[in-house]
Structure 1
Amino acid sequence: MRLNLRFGLDLDGYRPAAADDCHGQVSLGPLGMLSQLETRLGLSVQQPAIMRRLTGYLQLLRQCDNGSRFYSASLQIDPLALAHSLLDWRDRWIEAGWDGTADADSAPRLRDLAEVEQALRQSGQVPPGPADRLAAIAERLEMTSLSLDVVLVDPLTEFPQLWQRVLQQLGARQELPEENFCLARPDTDLGRLQRALRDKGSFTPAHDGSLLLLTAPDEGLLARALSRIQRSDLPATSCCAEALATQVVSEQSLATIDQTLWLEDNPLTGASDASAWRPPLQVLPLALSLFWQPLDPRRLLEFLAHPICPVPAPARYRLADVVAQAPGLGGAAWRKAISELEENLQQQAKDRLAATAAIKNLRQRLADWLDLPRFDPATGAPPQRLAEHCARLARWMSQRAQLENVSPGLRTLLLAAASQAREAQQGLDDLALGQSCITRVQLDRLLEEVTAAGTPVPESRAELGAIPSLRAPGAAIANQQRLLWWDFIEPWLPQRLPWSHQELTDLARQGARLQSPRQQYESLLRRWQRPILAASDQLVLLRPLRQRGEEVRLHPLGNLLQSLCGDRQIPTIDLSAELAENEISTTTPLRLHLQLEPQTPRPLPGLRRWWQLDQPQWLTRRETESFSSLQALLFSPYQWVLNYKARLRTSGLNDLATGSRLKGNLFHHLIEALLTDPQFDWLQATDQQIGQATRQCFERLLAEEAATFLQPGQRREKQSLADTAMRSVCQLIQQLRAAQVRHVEIEKPVQGRFSGGDLAGAIDLLVTNADGDEAVIDLKWGGSRYRATELRANRALQLALYAWLRRQQQRWPAQAFFILEEGCLLAHNAHYFPRARVCPPLEDNATTAGLWQQFEAAYQWRRAQLDAGQIEVTVTGTLPDEQSKTPEKALTIPETSDRFNDYACLTGWEEQA
């Protein structure tokens, strides 16, 4: 029995709408036919990775480069992009019939690539691509024959030259399906259109519903319409109410349709866009990005916070939190976190031997994935080192895929990621044969080639009863009652050939006959018309006006159809206008009558000044308060409740620390490192020594805790910070020397009690002078005007709190703010710090002790409210009432306190928000 093969340009992946008796019949596109012929001729070969072909061809380009080739300059700038382009040229020429040679008088580019081609055929260095496989089939068919009955559904002349040769060898015959279609009734719009296309005439639409263009602002609404049409779930008055056998055709993705079908609990088509951003596929680029100097802390955070990461889960979560707060690697917080992780492993281990093994494994994993050598992106990294890393990642991915608790879908993605890592490894190994270093730009290009194809969602499969679909208009080779053309928008169109007229003439002499853009467009136009002719009852064109937020054009076929209508327009229904009952923007009396479930608007909760909790026992006192928690309790009780009682907190992994917070932390640690360094005597050091020590410490801390400022584009900011650091450190040391400070304690832990219970905190700088007197210095990045106002109004509560915890025998220590950005020290007076900027209280009798008493009174007042379940919401848009007034001798509370508010979405919304 002879196998009957239907072969067409668009039939790859073809599935008939109905399961007819197809015994002995197969419908194939170019890729399917290629595989079928290879199998029958005994030529089956393992399909090579694209990267192997690319790097192999790049080596040949280098071997043939004498410095005067047309590609010599490009080879030095972007070799992989060059190899990609020229290999594509070469494959297109081979498919067009090129014999691989060039005459002496041929164009220079053709002669150069002909020499590369001869080297390729002699060395066999480049694995065969589809064009090479087709050429091998043509050669084998010269010596043998196959018992196949090949029927072409597209004209032979529209196939590439090499395909024409193979099809002629197979004795293929042409049967265009459009010549045998049963057209719609001639008294319908669809029938008139079909005959106008066939006879190259025109027609006047009568708006009978057989031809329809549906438009909507986006694909979501169109997908709902398609789902209802396919299920015949429309009122009898709808122009698409009739139950007809339906098929979808599209050149675009059907993924949006499946999303809607899933929401409406209908069978899925199994369509899924291939994406390079599936979680396991993201790991390879992230892992390799850590080799570059300076280290990008954002990439490091993404690597550690990624759900698929080779660093053990407890360690990566802890280290990711460190990186988010101190963007860098190797700093004090980083080392402390690793030490804590090792202590936890010791406590969890059964015995000492197990603990040692666990700690060794952790250190090895951190060394393998994080403690990497760093290379200059412009100079490049050794390809062998990067290849080893890819191989290590491939092994880890493969091992992870074999775990029992891994779902089938995740296992598929892990294996795909392992395959990509191996392909990258092979590509890097090949590149190592011709170059000692690969730059970051070249590595990124290689990764683009490896990951470009992406992977579809593994669990995405067609379900029983799903609407039949065609991947291209040219695949509409059988009549169908109703055809729905999804995404009737402008597709890919033929581009101008990148070769000159002389080069095309020279190629033709060597057997290559390339189709011109005009010929390609005419072929596309013929295939575009096929769905129109295949529909026997109704044709519905679905056109979104925007796709992914961008405006899209009407399909070129739509312009042709419009021209056939003459002065009339294609019957069009604007779904958004129809749903809004707006008759103005429709061009037809027809209605789809798409019925969507009405949704009752639910207003956002409004702002309220007070929340009342029926169970106030949930608002009991905390065992230990700090300045931060007390500040929230007094000024923003709602934040205290949501943070410390409800424990609603923003994730520390959302983003890196930036702005004033990052700069303040950096300068805190800079001052701590300098003032506690036993090798640096700040009391005796000269200005030059202070500057040198500051500069060295600053550069080290940038890499460890603030690598954000080392990234491209941050040079000016980094220099500004360096200048500020020099000025700030010098000013602080001068202030300490002027105050005859002899002892400094950094981040001094303090604790004590107050009327509300235990109180704890950490003083930024606790200094002691030659007389033994103490002073509390709080370091602030900026805001000197605000801090000066606090001191003058005697409202510096943070200083008062720390002073309360350090007071000895009723003596309160001196207090001051040091503003890091400006290098100035603010104090109530100059008694302790003679060079301070004095900000005396406006009231003569204002003291720190008095401020503390006001705080205690305010605390008791606010605590009584919480004990009664009353929570004040001090946000902008609310007005204080009688309950908001503090007692006479208590600290005054501002009307609002929401400048820094993580809970803005929970406190209510203003009208018209």
Structure 2
Amino acid sequence: MRIEFGWSLDGAAWAEGTGAHGTARMGPRALVQLLQNRLGLTRPAVEPAVRVAQYLRLIEEHLAAASAPFWPARSFAVDPWSTARQLLHWRDAAVETGWDPAAAQGPLPERLAALRDLERAAEVGVTGTLAPCPADDLAEVIALLEGEAATWPLGIEELALHEDPQALPGMWPQLLALLDRSGVRCTIVPAASGGAPQVTVVEAQDEWTAADVAARFLAAEPAGHEDSVTVLASSDTDVLDRALHRRGLPAIGAVDPSRDRAHHQVLGLFLDVATAPVDVHQLAALLDLRVLPGADGAAEPIGLVPAAARRRLLRALGREPGVGGPAWREALAALEESGHDTAIEAARVIDRLVGDPLPADGLFPPALSSRLDWLAERLRAVARGDGDLLASLTQVQVLQQVLAMLDPGTPLARRTLQQIIDSCGSSGPSPRARREVSDWAVCSRPAQLRAAGGTVLWWGPSAADAPRVLRWDPAERRALHAGGGRVPDPAGITALEVEASLAGLRRARTVVTVLPGRRCEEAPGPSGLLAHLEADGTGDRVDPAALLHDGRWELAGRSLPVTVPAQVRPAPPEETVRRTAPAPQLLPTRLSYTQAASLLSCPHHWALEYALDIRPAEVAVLPTGHRMIGTLLHAVVETLVQQRTDPALGGAPLTAPSGEEIGAVFDALVPQLASELELPGRRAERADVRDRAVRSLGELFTGTARAGLRITGTETRFSVPLTLPLAGGERTVEFVGSRDVDAVDAEGRRIVLDLKWSRSRTRYGDLYDTGEAIQLASYAWTVAQEDPSAAPADVGYFLLRSGEFISADPALDPHRRTPMDVDEAWRRMREAITATLDEVASGTVRVGCRELLETTGLTPEAGWDARRRATAKAREAARAAGSLLVENHCASSEHAPLCGLTGDWR
């Protein structure tokens, strides 16, 4: 076997040779692994996180037994994981020089003294207290070659060295001398004659423009004979691969690994849900997590949580964004009755996680590890050999192994736990990191180039090309030398890599370098290697626009015809009406106020969401913000009324609950209905909402009592038949919903109050004063239908945020408003619903959001003030015509792209 050895050749392709095999090209790590195999020294791989945990345990044991001060003790007390990882890194670097920490004698610098103290307590080996690193492997190979294996056949005929052995750092000169003594012929490859390639640098403004340049170069035909082309991918080629695929060319596939791949998020997301306080948005993300595609194209993707449990639990969170409430318990009970064993078990596990989350000061390793058992079993059950899921499973198993090595009685800090999770998951490959068969060679490091006399397309050189070397101070260097170490000179190590890289580049005849101006929103640093080439060779820097000449694109002797298309700006659809065949099947059988408001404001939106049931996923509409707070305060009012209702009085007493009572109910309902307010960093917001709730709800109960109103019910459900005189014949639908607050005065007159959490203090007053508060009108109509003999009900709003009433009753609202004509408002609403449903049944569906803009002469880009003024004028015009205009808010909904309100033309 012939081996070509170079300090920068790890990962290089084999060189061409004669006979059945070529020449193996190896770097330091590959050669050590080959020798381990030949000498019978191979061992199972150990995850880096396990080694850090082993070293952390050694530090803990040393601190418990040591009487003298330990140099990194203070750092270890603050951040144990990072300190152990850094000390282990220094230990491995010291061993790599050839220094034996355990045998070191005499006084040492503090850093080396700490490493020596720990090494004397460690047993390095498979069954020892510390797993070996690559430097330990090298030392073991050297020790065996110096002893009994000196005459063993290694099966290596020749070792062709790219560097002088004495220029290599650490123990490498010793190893190469031993191999020579063992019969391996070691020769030094003569340096290639110093050529000066023709260098052309294309400076693009962004990565996408640079990708087009590189892809065009590979797609273009050379002007004459060209020996070979090699792509040197110094940067991630994801964007370049897409440009190649657009031209029907194979991908390079040199996509950087990352810790941010989807399968690396499973473990962290699971443990986030298992620790207090529970974040319902993280819980929803865990429930909705899909880990594998379906068995065929039409099948639903496989989730971490089985579909039956996922749907019910997400639906419960959509009703109540918290855990432990009625909606959550109903979902669990329904699952128990379903008989789906896998879904039932998953729901039970999730319920235990969120029902008894680990507190911040209770993250004990055994408790964490036990919560991971179900996750490991589930990943194992659904993996089906998928590499990403197996990587997730490995991460879980490594974390459990690490947790088993830590002190079971010492809780972990959240920061330490996250550091351990990150360490347990290695950088994962991208699903697009798949190289495809191509006519050109590909490498990722300049030293691996074999383009003798050919062309190199260098993609994305940057300052990251420069090697990083651990530095020792002079005292440490002397101590390492005294202990048998051979400390590399940082400049010498850098020179090894730089010279190898330049040698590879100088073997080419032409180097075409493409520089992305910005990558990931950052400008890459200048490349020292490119600066060397430009200083030595000939060439220039060009702009991508300068490569176009009379309909042809030309670069470094390659060209191809190009066509510059005319710029076209997409325009929005011209029609604001969707016309189909008559569609009576779209007519509703049930109608709520929310549906009716959507129907009147934008029939197209209503048809999509209610008639066709096109809705966003449950995880995308989890209640949050104003909607969540409004639901929470509605529930606080409902709970207080239920607690205070006296059947003998026929409702709640005419006294207000105390601020302490309101606050206690608020605190009890937050975990169930607004658990995100319990998260770290939300304390001020929670306190503000609580203070407002106590003040405004106190005013609600005080004001109603002062006006002599006895609250008789909250969230009162109704279902009343509503007959609509449609053109195709009368149609009766069920008008359903719930009234927020029902009350009666001393004379028995009914009053309905609607509770609103809103920043606007004028919107609902304006609706009331103009007679367009159709929600109040619909509530008054349902009261009349329930008791036709009773007097018409009074209506009003209560603003939860500001604690104000909007009513014609001067005891509630001092503005002396004129009573709203609810019968007239209901008539207009009923007629508008009838007319709109007639249009839908005939096959005409208006896009109300865009129709309003066009009738008022506005564009989709119009500002809020312009829209507000235009809407006010349109409302006045509709009111004067005896009609009704309901303002739409489609632009903030998920249906805006389908309505044509947003798109590429904006």
TM-score for the superposition, normalised by structure 2:
0.86
Letter in 1 for 2:405: D
Tell me the CA shift for residue 375 of structure 1: 1.1
Tell me the CA shift for residue 596 of structure 1: 5.2
CA distance in 2, matches of 1:105, 1:615: 93
Larger mean CA deviation between 715-724 and 16-25 belongs to 16-25
CA contact (8 A) 1:103 1:111 kept: no
CA contact (8 A) 2:754 2:776 kept: yes
CA contact (8 A) 2:767 2:773 kept: yes
Deviations along 1:265-315, one digit per CA (max 9) or x if unpaired, are 333444343233333332111111123221122321221111135432221
Q: Does residue 1:284 correspond to 2:284, yes or no? A: no
CA contact (8 A) 2:222 2:557 kept: no
Match of 2:281 in 1: 298
CA distance in 2, matches of 1:668, 1:767: 15
Deviations along 1:202-260, one digit per CA (max 9) or x if unpaired, are xxxxxxxx4322332334444444444445x3374xxxx65432112233334444333
Distance 1:603 1:909, change over 3 A: farther
1:336-375 equivalent positions in 2, closer than 5 A: 336-343=330-337, 345=338, 361=345, 363-367=347-351, 369-375=353-359
CA contact (8 A) 1:709 1:715 kept: yes
Match of 1:207 in 2: none
Q: Does residue 1:162 correspond to 2:171, yes or no? A: yes
Match of 2:202 in 1: 214
CA contact (8 A) 1:290 1:372 kept: no
Deviations along 1:2-33, one digit per CA (max 9) or x if unpaired, are x2222222222221476864637422222221
Larger mean CA deviation between 767-776 and 421-430 belongs to 767-776
Distance 1:868 1:883, change over 3 A: farther
- Of 490, 513, 517, the match for 2:463: 490
CA distance in 1, matches of 2:15, 2:666: 70
CA distance in 2, matches of 1:398, 1:656: 30
Distance 1:368 1:819, change over 3 A: closer
Q: Does residue 1:500 correspond to 2:473, yes or no? A: yes
1:711-750 equivalent positions in 2, closer than 5 A: 711-738=679-706, 739-741=708-710, 743-750=712-719
Distance 1:432 1:311, change over 3 A: farther
Tell me the CA shift for residue 694 of structure 1: 2.2
- Of 384, 394, 408, the match for 2:366: 384
Identity %: 23
CA contact (8 A) 2:16 2:22 kept: no
CA contact (8 A) 2:203 2:517 kept: yes
Match of 1:794 in 2: 771
- Of 121, 132, 135, the match for 1:128: 132
Tell me the CA shift for residue 81 of structure 1: 0.5
Letter in 1 for 2:492: Q
1:116-265 equivalent positions in 2, closer than 5 A: 116-121=118-123, 124-143=128-147, 144-145=149-150, 146-147=153-154, 148=156, 149-171=158-180, 179-180=191-192, 191=195, 193=196, 210-231=198-219, 233-234=220-221, 236=223, 242-265=225-248
Match of 2:452 in 1: 479
CA distance in 2, matches of 1:389, 1:643: 40
CA distance in 1, matches of 2:741, 2:558: 74
Letter in 1 for 2:113: R
- Of 10, 13, 18, the match for 2:11: 13
Match of 2:724 in 1: 755
Distance 1:829 1:692, change over 3 A: closer
1:482-881 equivalent positions in 2, closer than 5 A: 482-495=455-468, 497-535=470-508, 537-564=509-536, 570-579=539-548, 593=559, 595=561, 598=564, 601-606=567-572, 608=574, 610-617=576-583, 620-654=586-620, 656-677=622-643, 683=652, 690-738=658-706, 739-741=708-710, 743-755=712-724, 757-758=732-733, 759-769=735-745, 771-782=747-758, 783-807=760-784, 808-809=787-788, 811-830=791-810, 834-838=811-815, 840-841=817-818, 847-866=821-840, 867=842, 869=844, 871-875=846-850, 877-879=853-855
1:79-90 equivalent positions in 2, closer than 5 A: 79-90=80-91
Tell me the CA shift for residue 702 of structure 1: 1.6
Tell me the CA shift for residue 675 of structure 1: 1.7
* SS of 1:513 mapped into structure 2: coil
Distance 1:174 1:141, change over 3 A: closer
CA distance in 2, matches of 1:859, 1:341: 39
Distance 1:879 1:616, change over 3 A: same
Distance 1:540 1:325, change over 3 A: farther
Name the count of aligned residue pairs.
847
* SS of 1:749 mapped into structure 2: strand
Deviations along 1:795-819, one digit per CA (max 9) or x if unpaired, are 1110001111111336321211111
Tell me the CA shift for residue 445 of structure 1: 0.5
Tell me the CA shift for residue 698 of structure 1: 1.4
Q: Does residue 1:323 correspond to 2:323, yes or no? A: no
Match of 1:891 in 2: 883
Match of 2:415 in 1: 441
Letter in 1 for 2:770: A
Q: Name stretches of at least 5 consecutive residues in structure 2 with no aligned partner.
A: 292-302, 726-731, 858-872
CA contact (8 A) 2:230 2:442 kept: yes
Q: Name stretches of at least 5 consecutive residues in structure 1 with no aligned partner.
A: 184-190, 195-209, 350-354, 403-407
CA distance in 2, matches of 1:467, 1:839: 84
Tell me the CA shift for residue 723 of structure 1: 0.9
CA contact (8 A) 1:96 1:162 kept: yes
Distance 1:883 1:746, change over 3 A: closer
Distance 1:737 1:465, change over 3 A: same
Larger mean CA deviation between 492-501 and 26-35 belongs to 492-501
Tell me the CA shift for residue 159 of structure 1: 2.8
CA distance in 2, matches of 1:359, 1:574: 59
* SS of 2:477 mapped into structure 1: helix
TM-score for the superposition, normalised by structure 1:
0.85
Q: Aligned-pair RMSD on alpha carbons?
A: 3.4
Deviations along 1:570-595, one digit per CA (max 9) or x if unpaired, are 32232245359899xx9x99685455
Distance 1:399 1:74, change over 3 A: same
Deviations along 1:809-834, one digit per CA (max 9) or x if unpaired, are 3632121111111222221234xxx3
Match of 2:44 in 1: 46
Tell me the CA shift for residue 69 of structure 1: 1.4
Tell me the CA shift for residue 106 of structure 1: 2.0
Letter in 2 for 1:476: L
CA contact (8 A) 1:605 1:909 kept: no
Distance 1:140 1:651, change over 3 A: same
Distance 1:621 1:360, change over 3 A: closer
CA contact (8 A) 1:763 1:778 kept: yes
Distance 1:692 1:870, change over 3 A: closer
Letter in 1 for 2:781: W
Match of 1:204 in 2: none
CA distance in 2, matches of 1:749, 1:456: 54
CA contact (8 A) 1:880 1:895 kept: no
Deviations along 1:815-869, one digit per CA (max 9) or x if unpaired, are 1111111222221234xxx33445523xx8x621122222233334444544362
Letter in 2 for 1:801: S
CA distance in 2, matches of 1:54, 1:161: 23
Q: Does residue 1:334 correspond to 2:307, yes or no? A: no
CA distance in 2, matches of 1:257, 1:775: 68
Letter in 1 for 2:177: Q
CA distance in 1, matches of 2:351, 2:885: 52
Letter in 2 for 1:636: C
